[in-house]
Amino acid sequence: MNYSKSPDELISTAMSAGKRQRGVVSRTAVHMRSSIDRLTGLAHLDSNSLTEEISFLENALDQLLHTSRISNDAYLAAGAVQGGLSMLGDMIDIGISRSEVQEQLRQLLERAGRVDESHPGLDEAIEERRV
């Protein structure tokens, strides 16, 4: 199954849904979203792509924590986004609908926005680890 949707479309969806649900996700508030952006930019989103991104996040977060570049709180908050991606991979494996994938990505964008607001600079620190 192909679950691709542009990051801007996902933000628009998140913003529309956010008005009906738990607050609005603004374009400027969603900085801790590089991993999600990478995934939504793929022509085909599958569990293998998610597994690679999850592994990257796990390693990057571990390195940042052990070198004291991020706090325990930032590590745990970013881990929530990582865990959401892991759950999404499992859901794709069992064949969830495209609309459910998009809903899960919307929720991850909201969570990433809250993480960035609480821990500015975390996304940049993670992306510095990308090779």
* pLDDT attached to residue 69: 93
* pLDDT attached to residue 9: 52
Q: Which helix (H) or strand (E) holds 24?
A: none
> In the predicted model, is pLDDT for residue 12 greater than 60?
no
Please report the sign of the dihedral spanned by the C-alpha atoms of residue 83, residue 119, residue 131, residue 65. Answer: negative
Q: Give the three-class secondary structure for 74.
A: helix
> Of 101 and 18, which is predicted with more confidence?
101
80 closest CA partner among 49, 111, 102, 107 = 111
Domain ranges (residues) in the chain: 7-127
Q: Per-residue pLDDT tens for 41-86?
A: 777 788 888 899 899 999 999 999 999 999 999 999 999 999 999 9
Q: Per-residue pLDDT tens for 78-108?
A: 999 999 999 999 999 999 988 898 889 889 9
Q: Residue 125 and residue 43: Cα distance in Å, rounded?
A: 26
